[in-house]
Amino acid sequence: MTPEGGADLTPLTVILAYLGLLLVLGYWCKRRFSGTSSDYFVASRSIGSFLLLMSVFGTTMTAFALVGSTGKAYQLGIGVYGLMASSSGLVHSLVFFLVGMKLWAIGKREGFVTQIQYFRARLGSNLFGYLLFVVLVSLVIPYLLIGVVGAGAVVRGVTVGMFPDLFAGSPHPVTGQMLSVGAVPPWLTGLVICGVVLFYVFLGGLRGAAWANAFQTIVFMATGVIAFWLVSGKLGGLAAASRAVAENAPDHLTRENMIGQLQFLTYLLVPLSVGMFPHLFQHWLTARSARTFRLSIIAHPIFIMIVWVPCILLGIWAVGAGMQAPGGNANAVLGMLVGRLLHDPLLTGLLTAGILAAIMSSLDSQFVCLGSMFTHDIVLHLVRKDRFSDRQKVLLGRGFIVLVITITYLLSLLTPPNIFDLAVWCFSGFASLFPLVFAAVYWRRLTRAGAYASVLVMVATWIPLFYDGLILPTREHRLKDDYLVFGMMPVAIIFAASAAALVIVSLLTRPPEQRVVDRFFESART
């Protein structure tokens, strides 16, 4: 499928067909939508084990699981798997078991839809809800932007030369040479991606997102495995590909000189971020019962392994084969392997669809979640709730989802440099709020002042480290891969400060009323 004088359109056709399938799925979800606000925001708390596993896994895995893991392994070798993947297998399931199920039970008892509703009620403070709203939204927005910007970059990469008469490309900032001539520009990809996600979440709410996530998770898992198998064949087989690494880049087979031991240890804190992701909280609430969590808790580490091990091997094989990342961009290594070794437009299209699947399976939940937060934590909280019928609440939620998607899209057009580096900092922020949710669930003595102290100290330690680790190096053009403090991930400092503030201030202030606290604990004190 090649237009005269242009590049093969097959990859774009595959991508468009995939997006078309999502639209069909969205329409199917609309037919299952009951029309109630409970169905729209938490799928009537009716999601079963398999769908919960797929939707939670799809939501926690972003494009980084395919593209970033390959790129990081290309830079740092096999240690990336232990650093980011096997640690998540332990910690994510731990959080689902200890925190997720408890919050599901509390949410069901109290009729909560958002995380902020829980904290407001648990701490008896409206104002704390507003503070948390600002902090959570500030941390989620960069995470959303990464998805939209990432999709734009991926599609631009595979469509270079397809439409030279339509898209002139963009000039290189230094040389002025036109780059990506004829490629679909990121603004158009962002518009289409946002439009498709809007379609299925607008019609089906969180149920639509859950079904779309399940479908997309299957797509991106299958894509990674297929790419791995075909690329290994082109490199002469598994053994030959790995032998080349042993000969040409032996450092990539170990962690020595690649990752520090303290860095490796403190990275264990980063996956705790899932405990405070507002979109994951909302997915937990969709579970039909506590038993529904069982499959997610057990299968999550295995699913991570299925996606990450092939990508890590692909990353080190690229080094062993002497390949150079295009323009020094490690995130382009997976695309480069597929493009240079397979020369198959159909596979290129499928791989791109897989990457978009990983991106959209996170975007959709985040959009629904932010729409829910604006609806419940701001509007319905400020205005008497009986002023709105159930149908009006759904309309309000849909309106806010449209608003959130529009704002995200517009912000993606003005994306600052180093948006991908910002992601790790957002994760560190969420992880450093974990002491708050853990204490809220397990520690009766947590006070409102302790919660305020925890959040404010988190923000106060995060900002200077963020400035020193990202803003300043960007200005001075000396950005390194990993910013460490005394050899540790910055999250270790922020987490410790936030936890210490929570405990100390809670112990120094008057205990909360037992009557209020009893509502949130299984064994009420008498």
Partner 1 sequence: MSGSDRRSANWVLWCGVPLLAGLHQDFWNWDDGRLLFGFLPVGLAYHAGYSLLAASFWAFVVAWCWPSRLEEWAGAVESEVPPRTEGTGGREDAKGGGA
What span, in angstroms and rounded, lies between the C-alpha atoms of 115 and 8? 47
- Nearest 5 degrees, angle CA 315-CA 475-CA 461? 85
Dihedral, 127, 131, 137, 139 alpha carbons, nearest 10: -160
Nearer of residues 476 and 522 to partner 1, judged by Cβ = 522
113 binds partner 1 (CB under 8 A): yes
Among 386, 476, 481, 513, the residue binding partner 1 under the rule CB under 8 A is: 386
x/- letters, 284..323, toward partner 1 (CB under 8 A): -----xxx--x--xxxxxx-xx---x--xx--x-------
What span, in angstroms and rounded, lies between the C-alpha atoms of 245 and 313? 10
List the interface residues with partner 1, window 68-97 (CB under 8 A): 78-79, 81-82, 85-87, 89-90, 93-94, 97
Beta-carbon-side half-sphere exposure of residue 477 (alpha carbons within 13 Å): 0
x/- letters, 333..372, toward partner 1 (CB under 8 A): ----------------------------------------
496 binds partner 1 (CB under 8 A): no
Phi and psi torsions of 287, nearest 5°: -60, 140
**String of DSSP letters for 243-282:** HHHHHH-GGGGS-TTTS-HHHHHHGGGGGGGGGG-HHHHH
What span, in angstroms and rounded, lies between the C-alpha atoms of 50 and 42? 16
Which of these ranges, 107-115, 210-218, 422-430, 437-445, lies near partner 1 under the rule CB under 8 A? 107-115
- Beta carbon of residue 260, minimum distance to partner 1 (angstroms, whole number): 11
- Beta carbon of residue 253, minimum distance to partner 1 (angstroms, whole number): 4
List the interface residues with partner 1, window 449-478 (CB under 8 A): none
List the interface residues with partner 1, window 27-66 (CB under 8 A): 36-38, 41-42
List the interface residues with partner 1, window 133-172 (CB under 8 A): none
Handedness of CA 437, 439, 443, 444 (dihedral sign): negative
Among 175, 177, 261, 526, the residue binding partner 1 under the rule CB under 8 A is: 261
User: Token pair of 117, please?
Assistant: 């509703």
Decide: 56 and 296 in contact? Cβ < 8 Å.
yes
The burial of 31, by beta-carbon neighbours within 10 Å (0-12 exposed, 13-18 middle, 19 or more buried), is given as: exposed
Among 110, 391, 392, 444, the residue binding partner 1 under the rule CB under 8 A is: 110
Question: For residue 398, which of 379, 432, 375, 429 has the smallest C-alpha distance?
Answer: 375
444 binds partner 1 (CB under 8 A): no
List the interface residues with partner 1, window 211-250 (CB under 8 A): 238-239, 241-243, 245-246, 250
441 binds partner 1 (CB under 8 A): no
List the interface residues with partner 1, window 195-214 (CB under 8 A): none
269 binds partner 1 (CB under 8 A): no
Decide: 52 and 365 in contact? Cβ < 8 Å.
no
- Beta carbon of residue 252, minimum distance to partner 1 (angstroms, whole number): 8
